[in-house]
Homo-oligomer: A and B are copies of this chain.
Amino acid sequence: MLMFCTMYSLDKTDTKLLQALSDDPRSTFVALADTLGLSRNTVQARMKRLEDSGAFLGFDRRINPAALGYPLTAFIEVHVQQKRLAQIVLDLALIPEIVQAHGMSGQTDLLVRVVCTDAADLFRIDGTILACDGVERTETSLAMGEVIPYRLTPLLDRRG
């Protein structure tokens, strides 16, 4: 397996490992080895490599915000004075309801994902964002539903 780039490139066996984990995130190394027809040593070695190579993101992503009392998700497009972008990101990071933000190409500078308890809460959060120095305009869109829930399995299947 080659390593020319910094990031380790996953092969088919890794893919199958991830598929098996998607089926059952709690499955043990023994069970994984069994379903994949590999030895336990191999599975453990590969899992360690996957972890070390940054193939896994934070556990936060598996927590359902609705269970925490934030049933609403909204996307807020934020237009800013671009030279202040770095500072604005730091300011936004202080708002706990902002669960994610992407710097974007195109008309919008930032796409911010927000969770909130209700519409009034969203209104308040939007105000907080607008109050940040350098933020010029926001456009809020409420997510009515996750019509395609986050998934990577179709991509995994294609490499299987």
- A residues contacting B by CB (< 8 A) are 7-10, 15, 18, 21-22, 25, 50, 53-70, 73, 75, 89, 92-93, 96-108, 110-113, 115, 139-159
Contact = CB atoms under 8 A, between A and B. Distances in A.
Contact of A97 (B53, B105, B155): B155
A68 B66 CA distance: 29
B96 A65 contact: no
A105 B151 CA distance: 22
Contact of A75 (B15, B102, B148): B102
B102 A145 contact: yes
A120 to B, nearest CB: 16
A150 B99 contact: yes
B58 A150 contact: yes
29 contacts: A7-B67, A8-B67, A10-B68, A18-B63, A22-B63, A25-B56, A25-B58, A25-B59, A55-B63, A55-B67, A56-B62, A58-B62, A59-B62, A60-B150, A61-B61, A62-B62, A68-B152, A73-B102, A89-B147, A97-B155, A99-B150, A101-B146, A101-B147, A102-B145, A104-B141, A104-B143, A105-B142, A106-B140, A111-B143
Contacts of A108: 141
Given A68-B159, A92-B148, 20 more contacts: A7-B67, A8-B67, A55-B63, A58-B151, A62-B62, A63-B152, A68-B156, A96-B158, A99-B151, A99-B152, A102-B145, A102-B146, A102-B147, A103-B147, A104-B141, A104-B144, A105-B142, A106-B139, A106-B141, A106-B142
